[in-house]
Amino acid sequence: MFTGIIQSVGHVQAIAPNASGDWKLTIAAGKLDMRDVALGDSIAVNGVCLTVVSQGTGQFTADVSNETLSVSAFSDLSIGARVNLEKAMRLSDRLGGHLVSGHVDGVGNLIRIEQDGASWRYVFNMPESIAHYVAHKGSITINGVSLTVNSVTDNQFNVNLVPHTLQETNLGDLQQGNRVNLEVDVIARYLERLLQVKPDASSSSITPEFLAKNGFWK
């Protein structure tokens, strides 16, 4: 698990496609402290949980499966591209963002950027299949960054990015039309599952209507 609080912005050092179509991806880790990273550890790269298969001074390599390439924006990466990095959290760590699994739920597109005081409002579209998980003032992960949703309309949502976030992540590199990895709040998925399997939903006060009224259901 991760928190969505980015620890370093690294860059893509090498992309080695395999005969089967998947990749070996080498990342220069930037300021990420690699001293406690071992083979088999997890590091989120742009919000995608990857397993370290080899490492060197200030860098690591991970396998990227065809599945990951098909459901994420990784296929847009090129040599030198900046990527957000976060090591897996410890149970003793502060949860500064929200619980993030590192499993991409969908790929969104940046529609526009608007200045909003000292911050910037970024408007994204999202796949219809995940829109009902995104709630006003709920949490969403964009390229691994934990953010609060300002508003949701149909298949669009927007977030505010303060100067610190733009400086410490790669979200400041985004331009209109760029694709991003999206992960919805895992709690929303569990709530949906609980409602689906409950044999008698009428006996509980936790209903779709109750969740919608309180901003957890769309």
Write down the pTM of the prediction. Answer: 0.86
| pLDDT at residue 190 in the model | 73
CATH code linked to domain 8-87? 2.40.30.20
Which residues contact residue 87 at a Cβ distance below 8 angstroms, ignoring those fewer than 6 apart? 7, 32, 33, 37, 41, 42, 43, 44
At 78, which amino acid appears?
S
Distance (Å, rounded) from C-alpha 207 to C-alpha 209?
Answer: 5
What is the phi/psi pair of residue 40, to 5°? Answer: 95, -10
Look at residue 153 and give its three-state secondary structure.
Answer: strand
At 211, which amino acid appears?
L
Give pairs for 212-215: CB < 8 Å, separation 24+: 215/135, 215/136, 215/137, 215/138
Same topology, domains 8-87 and 106-192? Answer is yes
Pick the CATH number of 106-192 from 3.30.43.10, 3.40.50.11690, 2.40.30.20, 3.40.50.300: 2.40.30.20
| pLDDT at residue 199 in the model | 56
Which residues does the chain have with pLDDT short of 50?
A: none
Q: Name residue, tokens 């669009």.
A: 156
- According to DSSP, residue 162 is labeled -
| pLDDT at residue 200 in the model | 57
Helix/strand/coil percent split, the chain, to 5: 20, 40, 40
| pLDDT at residue 186 in the model | 83
Domain edges within the chain: 8-87, 106-192
Q: Name residue, tokens 């929200």.
A: 98
Distance (Å, rounded) from C-alpha 121 to C-alpha 76?
Answer: 23
How does DSSP assign 2-36, residue by residue?
Answer: B-S---EEEEEEEEEE-TTS-EEEEEE-TT---TT
Look at residue 217 and give its three-state secondary structure.
Answer: coil
The CB density around residue 36, as the number of other CB atoms within 10 Å, is: 8
Specify whether the CB–CB gap between 140 and 157 falls below 8 A: yes
